Structure 1
Amino acid sequence: MDLTVFSGTANRPLGESLARALGRPLGRCNLERFPDGEQHVELLEDVRGRNVCLIQPTVPPVGENLLELLLMADACWRGGAARLMAVLPYFGYARQDRRTGSGEALGGKLMADLLERGHFERLVAVNLHTASLEGCFAMPLEHLNAGTLLAEAVRPYAGPGAVVVSPDLGAVKLAERYARQLGLPLAIVHKSRTSGSEVNVRGLVGEVRGLRPIIVDDLISTAGTIAATAEAVREAGCADDITVVATHTLLVGPAVERLAQVPIRRLISTDSVVPRQGLPFHHEVVGLAPLLADAICRVTSNRA
C-alpha cells in the first residue's frame, strides 16, 4: 500500500498510533505559527504520486484546527499527491445540522463545504453527532462506529444489576444498541435544553432503583446533560456506581467540575480527543487507531 500519513497538531498521539497501526512512520511535516498568528505548513516528505492520509480532529479551537488541516491538504495537493484522504476522529459543528430559526447559520453544511476545498477524495469520521450530516458532503464518507469497541470496554461493569441509561431522546437509538449488545434493560431520561450548556430533566422512563447505571452518549462537551442525568438516576434510587460512556469527551468549560459533583465512578471514552489528565474519577480510554487503520486499508485496497 503506497501510503503516507501526516498528523496535524490537534491530536498528535492518535496520529502516531494510527501510523503504527498502518505499519508506517508518521510523515514529517513542519507546522508553525508566524508572529502575526498565521499558520505555516511545510511538508518534509516527497508525496508526488502517493496516496496521502491526513488525520486531524476538528476539536476546539475548531477554526484553527480546520485551517491547519486544509493547509496540509493544499501542501500535499500542490506537492503532486495522487489521492488525499482526511481522517476526522471528531467532527466539529456536527450538532449544527439543522436550523431552528431563519437567522441561524448551518454550521455543519459549511464545514462540509470547506472540506471540499481540500481536494479530498474521501473522508473518514467517527460517530458523527447526526448521521444525516453525511448528505452534506460532496465526497464519499466512511462513517465509523466506535460503539462496539466501547460496549466491550464497559462489559466488565455491565453484569447483573446494571441498566443502560439514555440521557435524552436523541440518544435512544445509541443506548438501545448498547443495551442489546450488553443484554441489559434500558431507561430513558427526558430533558429540555435551556441554553448551550444548561439542561432540565423532565422525567425518567424505566427502572433504575438499586441498579448500576451506565449512561451512554456520543459526546460530552460541557457535561450539562450527563450531570443532570446522573442526578436524575440518583434521585430515582440507583446504586452508587455510575459509569459514563461517550465516544467524544471534549470536557470544556465547567465539565470536569460538574462531573466531580455527581457520584460518577468511571468514564469510558475513545481517544478521538486528547484525554484530559487529573480527572477526579477513573478514565478508561479506548484507542481508535485499529478501527481507523482497518477502514483506511479497506478503502485503499479497493482502489487497487
Structure 2
Amino acid sequence: MTATIHHFSDSTAAARRLAAEIGIECRQIAVHRFPDGESLVRAAPSAGTAIVYRSLDHPDAKLIELLLAASALRDGGARKIILIAPYLAYMRQDIAFHPGEAVSQKVIGRLMATHFDGLITVDPHLHRTHDLQEIVPGIDALAVSAAGTIADMLRTDMRPDTILIGPDSESRPWVTSVAEALGADMLVAEKRRFGDRNVTLVIPGIERVRGCPAIIVDDLISSGATLLQCATLLREAGASGIEAAATHCLGRPGDLDALARGGIQRIRSVDTVDGPTASAPIAAALAHALRNFPAFTRTSHTPRT
C-alpha cells in the first residue's frame, strides 16, 4: 500500500515527526492567499492513501483550505484520504443551548464525513457525546488518548511525592489515566453550589498537598480561568510548587501570562497545537493508532461518487 502524508506549513514539524515514525514520504500542501482572503490550494498527486495532517485550532480559514486540499488530492488520484487533526475544533457545542443556535459538532462532523474516508484526532473535547464515531457517520473515526504521552513528559523530572490535580469533574478521565500510568496520587476538584448564584470550586482532600508539588492535568487549556482557581486553592493549602499539563493548549499569550502571575510555574502540553507550551510529541501515539486504523490498513475501497 502506498501512503503519503500531506501537511500545511503550520503543521510541518509535527507532520514530519509522524512521517518519520511510520517511514513514509511527507509533502507540503502549497497555499496562495489572495488579497480578498480567498486561497488557492495545490497538493501533489497521490495515487494511494493520502493522509492529510492539520491541527484545527483557529479553525475557520483552515477548514476551507482543508476541504480544498481534499478535493485536489481526490482529483489527483488518491484512492483514500485520511484526516489527522490532532486538535479537532467545534466539538464543544453538541446541543443548542438557546433557540437558533447551530450545533457545531454535528455540522463539522458531517462535513468531515463527506470529504474524508477516515478521521483521527487526539482527546476531542466532547461533553455529552461519548463516541467520536457518532459525530462522523459512515467513515472510520478514532480518538487517540494523549495520557501516555503526558505521563512520559511528566516522568522525566516529577518528584515521587507529586500530586496530580484534576481542575473539575470533567477532567477526571484524563487525570486518572495519567496518574495510573505514573503510579501517582491524585485529587479532583468539584464545583459546589451554595444557593442559586454562588458556585465555588473545592478540592476534596486538598490538605494532602501541603509540602508537595502539584500538577494540574486537563485535556484543554483555553482562557485558564479554572486553572487559576485551582492554583489559588493549592497555594493556600501549602503546595510546594504548582504546574499544569494538558493535551491541547489554546491559551493566548495574555492567558499564559495570567497563569504565570497566578502562581503556575510551568505549563506543558502535547504538540497537538503548536506554541510555547508544546513539549511532548504525539507522533508515536498517532503512528501506533494509524498502523491499526481500518481506513489505513483496509485494502479494498469503494470510490466516492
Short-chain TM bin: 0.7 to 0.9
Shift of 1:274: 0.9
Greater alpha carbon shift after TM alignment, 12-21 vs 163-172? 12-21
Q: What displacement does 1:209 show?
A: 2.1
Aligned ranges 1:252-291 → 2 under 5 Å: 252=252, 254-276=254-276, 283=277, 285-291=279-285
What residue is the counterpart of 1:128 in the other structure? 124
**Following TM superposition, by how much is the alpha carbon of 1:158 offset from its aligned partner in structure 2, in angstroms?**
3.8
Return the match for 2:287 from 286, 293, 297.
293
**Structure-2 separation of matches of 1:200 and 1:79:** 55
Aligned equivalent of 1:164: 164
Partner of 1:209: 210
Tell me how far 1:217 sits from its aligned partner.
0.3
Query: Counterpart of 2:219 in 1: which secondary structure?
Result: strand
Would the alpha carbon gap of residues 148 and 5 (structure 1) be closer, same or farther in structure 2, given more than 3 Å must change? same
Distance 1:28-1:9 versus aligned 2 partners, 3 A rule: closer
Corresponding residue number in structure 1 for 2:302: none
Normalised by the length of structure 1, the TM-score is 0.87
Match 1:53 to one of 47, 51, 54: 51
Counterparts of 2:3 and 2:216, CA distance in 1 = 39
Once residues 60 and 264 of structure 2 are traced to their aligned partners in structure 1, the CA distance between those partners, rounded to angstroms, is 32
Structure 1 residues 192, 275: closer, same or farther in 2, change over 3 A? farther
RMSD: 2.3
Q: Distance in 1 between matches of 2:187 and 2:270?
A: 23
Instruction: Work out whether residues 213 and 239 of structure 2, in 8 Å CA contact, stay in contact via their aligned partners in 1.
Output: yes
Correspondence 1:57-68 to 2 at 5 A: 57-60=55-58, 62-68=59-65
Taking only the aligned residue pairs, the percentage that are identical comes to 29
Inter-partner Cα distance in structure 2 for 1:212 and 1:21: 34
State whether residues 6 and 26 of structure 1, in contact with CA within 8 Å, keep that contact through their aligned partners in structure 2.
Answer: yes
**Aligned counterparts of 1:28 and 1:270: Cα–Cα separation in 2:** 22
Amino acid across the alignment from 1:167: P
1:72 to 69, 72, 80: 69
Kindly provide the CA deviation profile for residues 156-185 of structure 1, in whole angstroms up to 9, marking residues without a partner as x.
Answer: 444432211110111112222222222222
Task: After superposition, give the CA deviation of every residue in 1:28-57 in whole Å (9 maximum; x if it has no partner).
Answer: 4321111211011112x332x311000011
- In structure 2, the partner of 1:116 is 113
Give, in angstroms, the shift of residue 232 of structure 1. Answer: 1.6
Gaps of 5+ in 2: 300-305
Q: Deviations over 1:251-299 (max 9, x none)?
A: 12631121121222322211111122xxxxxx56111122222222333
SS at match of 2:66: helix
Against the structure 1 CA distance between its residues 92 and 200, is the aligned structure 2 distance closer, same or farther, given a 3 Å change threshold?
farther
Distance in 1, Cα, partners of 2:86 & 2:25: 20
Question: Offset of 1:210 from its aligned partner?
Answer: 2.0
User: Normalized against structure 2, the TM-score is what?
Assistant: 0.87
Match of 1:238 in 2: 239
Question: 2:9 — aligned with what?
Answer: 9
Question: How many residue pairs were aligned?
Answer: 288
Matched AA of 1:293: A
Residues 201 and 229 in structure 1, CA contact (< 8 A), matched pair in contact too:
no
* Counterpart-to-counterpart distance in 2, 1:23 and 1:192: 50
Distance 1:192 1:74 in 2: 49
Asked if the contact 2:214/2:239 (under 8 Å) is kept, the reply is: yes
Contact preservation (8 Å) 2:213, 2:242: yes
Deviation track 1:213-245 (CA, whole Å, cap 9, x = no partner) reads 110000111111212211121122211x11211
SS in 2 for 1:72: helix
Contact 2:8 2:30 in 1 (8 A): no
Deviation of residue 141 (structure 1)?
0.6
2:203 aligned counterpart, secondary structure: strand
Which string of whole-angstrom CA distances, capped at 9 and with x for unpartnered residues, describes residues 3-42 of structure 1? Answer: 1110023322212222222223322432111121101111
> Could you tell me how far apart the structure 2 residues matched to 1:115 and 1:192 are?
38
Aligned residue for 2:10, secondary structure, equals coil
1:31 aligned counterpart, secondary structure: strand
